[in-house]
Amino acid sequence: MAMIEVSNLKKSFGKLDVLKQLTFTVNKNDVVAVIGPSGSGKSTMLRSLVHLEQIDAGSISVVGEYLVKDGVYPRLPEIKQITSKMGMVFQHFNLFPHLTVQENLEIAPKLVKKASASELRQRSTELLGKIGLTNRAKAYPANLSGGQKQRVAIARALMMDPEILLFDEPTSALDPELTGEVLQVMKDLAEEQMTMIVVTHEMGFAKEVANRVIFMDDGEIVESGHPSEIFTNPQFDRTKVFLNRSF
Ligand SMILES: Nc1ncnc2c1ncn2[C@@H]1O[C@H](COP(=O)(O)OP(=O)(O)OP(=O)(O)O)[C@@H](O)[C@H]1O
Ligand SMILES: [Mg+2]
């Protein structure tokens, strides 16, 4: 079943064509790793999926509903309803500094969903256990390590019960010794069949966890396929050059 279908997506910033003609599908339970050089349009692509960027042409459908069809968006309430099926995790966590860990988890669903405080507390407590931070529930973000902050950001996204999780370089801001704990949480989610799109420089993660790799360069998808194909037998010179630099 298609969770996300993108066809002929185009996006420019002024004269710069950042996304040229993207077409791809993400199926249920897919873990798609998106790789490519800096400036190739990976973040802009992800941000377009959650309507943090407005595209110029093409279509995006999410679990069977059009977020945008042939460049035309529906009204804002409909856009919000469609993007609420996706959770996004950013490189720089973006936690609320004045709220505790547990409050960070509960704030968005408290405002958006009509769940009771006790339901939210139960769910946030469960998720804190899942990310191994039960004992930091009352801590403030400033007193957490980068890896802990990012695990909180993942749990916060999960509080909204997304059907798809998007990650934009979730470990790039972390010291190398802290990336493992974040990748482990993502790996657990993949094993629980969460559908995920992960923009990453972690080729090991892409190889081990993704079932598909999309290589982007200069606003285009150059090639995509199973990691065993892309990493061992890339078809295009652009992919070969990038991979040679990344290992
Ligand atoms: N708001 C913006 N205004 C103008 N240009 C932008 C904007 N956002 C991105 N760009 C440009 O679009 C291109 C693609 O940027 P994007 O951030 O999507 O690339 P990326 O593949 O995520 O790169 P990186 O690996 O460095 O994160 C770059 O040339 C960038 O400078
Ligand atoms: Mg980026």
- 48-60 pLDDT, tens digit per residue, is 999 999 999 999 9
Q: Which atom of ligand 1 is nearest to the CA of 41?
A: 18
CB-ligand 1 contact for 156 (6 Å cutoff): no
* Distance separating alpha carbons of residues 71 and 108, to the nearest angstrom: 29
CB-ligand 1 contact for 38 (6 Å cutoff): yes
pLDDT at 247 over 70: no
In tens, the pLDDT along 128-154 reads: 999 999 999 999 999 999 999 999 999
- pLDDT score of 139: 97
Mean pLDDT for all residues in the chain = 95
- Tell how far the Cα of 128 is from the centroid of ligand 1, in angstroms: 33
Name which residue sits closest to atom 18 of ligand 1, judged by CA.
Answer: 41
Which tokens is 67 given? 């977020």
- Tell how far the Cα of 103 is from the centroid of ligand 2, in angstroms: 28
Q: Closest Cα to residue 113, out of 83, 74, 152, 84?
A: 84
pLDDT at 33 over 80: yes
Name which residue sits closest to atom 7 of ligand 1, judged by CA.
Answer: 13
Q: Which atom of ligand 1 is nearest to the CA of 216?
A: 21
- Tell how far the Cα of 42 is from the centroid of ligand 2, in angstroms: 5
CB-ligand 1 contact for 238 (6 Å cutoff): no
Interstrand relation of 65-68 and 195-199 (parallel, antiparallel or unpaired): unpaired
CB-ligand 1 contact for 58 (6 Å cutoff): no
CB-ligand 1 contact for 150 (6 Å cutoff): no
